[in-house]
Chain A
Amino acid sequence: MKKYHSLAEVRSDISEGKTTVSALVDYYLGRIGTNAHLNAFIEVYTEEAKARALVIDEKIRSGNAGKLAGMVVSIKDMICYKNHKVSASSKILEGFESLFSSTVVERMLAEDAIIIGRCNCDEFAMGASNETSTYGLVKNYDNNDLASGGSSGGSAVSVQADMCLASLGTDTGGSVRQPASFCGVVGLKPTYGRVSRWGIIAYASSFDQVGPITHSVADAALLLEVIAGEDGHDSTASKELVPHYSESLTLNQKPRIAYLSEAVHGQGIDPEVKEMMLSQIKKLQNDGFVVEEVNFPLLKYAVPTYYVITTAEASSNLSRYDGVHFGYRSKNATDLESTYKKSRSEGFGEEVKRRIMLGTFVLSAGYYDAYYAKAQKVRRLIRDTSLELLSNYDLLILPTAPTTAFAHGEKTTDPVVMYLADIFTVQASLAGLPAISIPAATHSNGMSIGLQIIGKHFKEQEMLNFANFIEQKQ
C-alpha cells in the first residue's frame, strides 16, 4: 500500500474505490508489527480498530461520515481514553485504566477517527529524547541509533514510520514540536487555552497543550479544528471561536516575519541548522516577504524560567500519585508514611523525581521569592516582549531545535545539557503562543531539520497558512 501524507489523499482513494478504511487499518497494523523494534507503541487496539473500521467504511458508503473518517491516529500515553489504560509511561500508573475520555479523544471519535493505539513517551512528558519512559526509549525510524526526540517520541515515530496517519501528542516545552523536527513530520502546539486539557495527564498545567503530529500542515489544521474549543470541563480552555482552519490554508497577504538573531547566530547551533535558517530567510525575501532580524536577549533566561515554573507545578500535580488511591503501591509499605515514600520512590523514575524535588524546592518557604516568584516575573517579561515583537510582525521564525536528532544516551548524563535542547521551543510555551514545526531541510547526516513558526495568540490560521505555503514550496 502507498504511504499517505494527508487525509485528503486517503479520502480521495476511498471514494475512487482504491482502498477502504479496513484495508488501511490492516496496513497500519502490519506496519506497527514490522516496526515493533522502534518501541513507539505501548499498546495497540487491534480488534477495536478493525471493528471500528468496518463501521466507518459503512458510514462513508452511506454518506454520513465525520470529518476524520479514514484518519487512523495514535495517542500519546498522557491522554485519557475511557476504559483504556493510561500510564504517562510511568510505573506509578501501572495497570491504571481511565474511567473517562479526554475531550480531545471524544471530539476525534465523534468525527469518526480511529484510535489505533497508545504511544510511548517520556515519563510524565518529562524529557526531550523519550529516554525516561518506563517502557524504554523510542528509536528514530530514519536512523535507529538516534533519538526520536521527546517527550512525544512514540507519537512522532508512529507517524514518521507510517504506522498511522496522525498522532496526538502533548507539548509543555516543545514535546510535540521537537520530536516532530527530529522525525521529519509536522508538529503543532496550539495557543495555551485553545485545546481543552480535560483528560490530559497534567505535567505543568499552565503550559500543557495537546497538539497534532502529522505528515501535512493540512492534517494538523484539520485535527486542530476538531479538538479545539470551549469545554465545560476546563475553565482554562478559551471561549474564543474555532475557525475552520483546514478550509482556507492559503496566504491572502504576505505576513511580516521576524527571526531571532540569537536563534540563528547563537552558540551551539548546528551549522546546517543555521544554513537552513539563512536559506529560508533568503528564499522568503526573494519571494517579496518582509523578513527582519530582531534581538531577543531574554532567550537565555527562557530555559531556567521554564524549568522553575514547570517543576513547581509538576511537584504539586504529581502529588496525587501517592500509592493510596490508585496506581502503584509499594509492597514494602507498612504505614501511611512509608506508603508515600516507598511507592513514590519505587514508582517514579529518576527524571521525574529530579523535577519533583526541584519543584518542591522552588516553592519552599524561604526560597519561593528567589525562584518561583522571580521566574513568574521573567515569564511575564518573556511573554510581554514576545507580544511586543508580534505587534510589529505577524510571525516569528526560528529553528525548532539547535541540532538534528541526537544519539541515544548522548545527553542523559547531564540533565542541564538535555534541558538546553529545549532552548528554541520554550519561548512559545512560556508566552502561551501557538507554534508549529515543519520539516524544512535535510541535514548531511540524513536527518530532518525542522523550521519553527510562532504565531500570535489564537491566530493559528495565519500561522498554518504560512506553514502550508512553505510546505507547498518544498
Chain B
Amino acid sequence: MSNTIYDQYEAVIGLEVHAQLSTKSKAYAADSAGFGDDPNTNISVITLGHPGTLPMVNNVVINFAVKMGLATNCEIRLINEYARKNYFYADLPKGYQITQDTTPICTKGFLDVKLKDGSIKHIGITRIHMEEDAGKSIHDQDMYDSLIDLNRAGVPLIEIVSEPDIRSAEEAGAYLTEIRKLVRYLDICDGNMEEGSMRCDANISVRKKGDQILGNRCEVKNLNSIRNVQRAIEFEVIRQIDVIEAGGHIDQNTLNYDAVSGTTSVLRSKEMANDYRYFPEPDLPPVILTESYIEEVKHNMPALPDELFKKFINEFNLSEYDAHNILEQKEIALYYIEITNHTTNYKGAANWLMGAVKSYLNEAAVDIADFPLKPAQIAELVSIVDEGKINITTANQQLFPALLKDNTKTALSLATELNLIISTSNDDVLAFIHEAMAKYPEKVAEYKAGKKSLTGLFMGEVMKLAKGKLDPKEANKLLAQELER
C-alpha cells in the first residue's frame, strides 16, 4: 500500500473560485442582480450592450471585495484599474467582460485551514479581483436553438485565485469549505455551488516528489460541488501519473469534469485557447480607495469563524469539537451567539443547540431559520435546569417537545402547566428514599458492606417514584446520607 508508484508523485493544485456577489444591482449597471426572475427581465440597455451605453461602477462590489480581501489576509490595492477581457460568445453582449487584469484589488493573502489530522495547512492566495458574469446559455431546453438568458450578464463576481499550494483533494476540500464559510459569514455570496453562485476551476499538475519544476497543468472546469472538486482531483492526479508512467506527457488542456462518470475529458487544447487581448477599460477611470475607507470596512466586518473559534474556546470554554461544530454553519453560530446573550452557561447552551435543537432540525429537515423557538427560549431552558427547577432529562424529553408545539409560552410557564417543576421537598425525597431502601433491604446490606456502585440502582428507583420531579444532585446527596446512616 505504501510503496505504490503513485506515492512517488505529488499533486500541485491551485484553485480559482468565482463567487457571485449578492449585491442588489449589477456590477456596472443599475438593473437588479436578483436570482430566479423570469429570463431576460433584468436587462437594461447597459446589460444588452446597446450602442452608446457606458458602465458605472457599483461601489458595493468594491466593499465586498475589500471584505473578502481582509478576511483572507490580503493587501488591498488603493488604485483600482479595470480591464477588458475580449472574446465572442452569445451570452456576452458587449463582446468583452469588464474585469481587472494587472491590478487586482487584493493580493498576497493566505488562509490557514485545518485538516482531519488536526494539522494546519497554509494556502497562499495570489489575488482576488472583481469582474462581471456573462449571461446564461441554455442548450437543453429547445430542440433546435440555444436559449440565452441575460439576467446574469453583468452580475458582479470576485475571482479568488490560490497559489499552487494545495497537495491533495482533502486540502482542496478544506480550502473550499473555508472560502465558502467566509463568503457566507461576510454575507457577500450565498456560497451555493450547486446553483452556480460559487464556482471552482482546478489547475492540477503532478510531479515527482522532490522535483522543483512544475509539471504541465490541466484546468478542470464544471465542478459544481466541493465533493466533485475532490473527486476530479483524485481522478486527474491518477490519470496524469498514469500518462507519465506510460511514457507520455501531459498536454496543457482545459478539461471538462463529468460528475456522472467521475472522469475528465478535453474541452479545448492550448492551441484553441482564446487570446483575450486584455487592455485598460477606457470607460472607467481607476477607483481610488483610501486607508480610512479600508479601516472603515474593517471596523464594520462581522465576526469571522476564526475569531469566533478563539472566543468560544477561550471565553466560553467550549471544546474544540463543539466550537467547530457550531461554527460550521453561519446561521447556527449566530443562533448560538444570540443564546449566549441571554445566559452565561455557554457549555449548557452549546449542549442544547448541538443536541436537542440539531436533532430536531435533522428530523424535521428544516433550517435554523425556520426553527420555531427563539434563542432566548433555549437560554431559558438552560436557566431553569441550572436553577434546579426542572431536571435535564425531563426538560429534554418532555418540556422541549411541548415547547416546540406551543412556542408562544415561556419555558417556565409551560413546565408549570405540565406539572414538570421540581416541587418535591426534602421530606418527600426522604420518603421516596426510604421506600426504595425498604424495597431492597439486601441491597442496602451489600451497600453497607462496601458495594457503593449500588447508588445507581437506588437513585433509579427514587427517580421513578418521584416521576422525575426532583433535583438529582440534591437527591443523590440525601440518598448517600441515608445509606451511610
Contact = CB atoms under 8 A, between A and B. Distances in A.
Interface of A: 79-80, 86, 88, 93, 96, 98-100, 102, 197-202, 204-206, 232-236, 312-313, 315-316, 319-320, 322, 324-326, 336, 340, 360, 363-365, 368, 372
Contacts of A205: 282-283
A324 B57 CA distance: 26
Nearest to B55: A235
Given A80-B51, A200-B52, 15 more contacts: A197-B54, A198-B54, A201-B51, A205-B283, A235-B54, A236-B282, A316-B86, A319-B88, A320-B95, A324-B90, A325-B93, A326-B48, A336-B90, A363-B277, A364-B277
Indicate the member of B52, B54, B56, B277 with the most A CB atoms within 10 Å: B52
Contacts of B51: 80, 86, 88, 93, 96, 98, 201-202, 320
B50 A319 contact: no
Contacts of B26: none
Contacts of A86: 51-52
B94 to A, nearest CB: 5
30 contacts: A79-B52, A86-B51, A93-B51, A98-B50, A99-B45, A99-B50, A100-B52, A199-B52, A201-B52, A202-B52, A202-B283, A205-B282, A205-B283, A206-B282, A234-B56, A312-B279, A313-B279, A315-B86, A316-B95, A316-B279, A319-B94, A319-B96, A320-B49, A322-B88, A325-B49, A326-B50, A336-B90, A340-B88, A363-B86, A368-B279
Q: Which 7 A-B pairs have the closest CB atoms?
A: A319-B95, A205-B282, A363-B277, A206-B282, A199-B52, A80-B52, A320-B49
B401 interface: no
A320 B53 CA distance: 11
A360 B52 contact: no
B39 interface: no
A96 B45 CA distance: 13
Nearest to A87: B51
Nearest to B46: A233
B422 interface: no
Interface residues of B, number: 28
A206 B81 CA distance: 14
A205 B52 CA distance: 10
B7 interface: no
Nearest to B94: A320
A325 B52 contact: no
Interface of B: 45, 48-57, 84, 86, 88, 90, 93-96, 146, 275, 277-279, 282-285
Contacts of A93: 51
A455 B283 CA distance: 24
Indicate the member of A79, A86, A319, A336 with the most B CB atoms within 10 Å: A319
Indicate the member of B49, B51, B282 with the most A CB atoms within 10 Å: B51
A234 B95 CA distance: 20
B93 A320 contact: yes
Indicate the member of A313, A316, A363, A364 with the most B CB atoms within 10 Å: A316
B132 to A, nearest CB: 14
B273 to A, nearest CB: 10
B45 A100 contact: yes
Contacts of B57: 235
Contacts of B282: 204-206, 236, 313
A235 B84 contact: no
Nearest to B85: A316
A289 B110 CA distance: 65
A95 to B, nearest CB: 13
Contacts of B277: 315-316, 360, 363-365, 368
A238 to B, nearest CB: 10
Nearest to A197: B54
Contacts of A99: 45, 50
Nearest to A193: B285
Contacts of A363: 86, 277-279
A196 to B, nearest CB: 9
Given A205-B283, A316-B96, A364 B52 contact: no
A360 B95 CA distance: 13
Given A319-B86, A320-B93, A232 B56 contact: yes
Contacts of A235: 54-57, 283-285
Nearest to A124: B51
Contacts of A201: 51-52
Given A205-B282, A316-B84, A320-B93, A233 B49 contact: no
A233 B54 contact: yes
A233 B56 contact: yes
Contacts of A320: 49, 51, 93-95
Nearest to B89: A336
Nearest to A201: B51
A324 B92 CA distance: 10
A312 B283 CA distance: 14
Contacts of B56: 232-235
Contacts of B275: 364-365
A202 B94 CA distance: 12
Indicate the member of B49, B275, B279, B284 with the most A CB atoms within 10 Å: B279
B279 A372 contact: yes
A102 B51 CA distance: 10
A234 B49 contact: no
A325 B146 CA distance: 13
A206 B275 CA distance: 23
Contacts of A324: 90, 93
Contacts of B88: 319, 322, 340
A78 to B, nearest CB: 8
Contacts of A365: 275, 277
Indicate the member of B56, B88, B95, B277 with the most A CB atoms within 10 Å: B277
B276 to A, nearest CB: 9
A79 B52 CA distance: 8
A180 to B, nearest CB: 23
Given A100-B45, A320-B49, A236 B283 contact: yes
B57 to A, nearest CB: 7
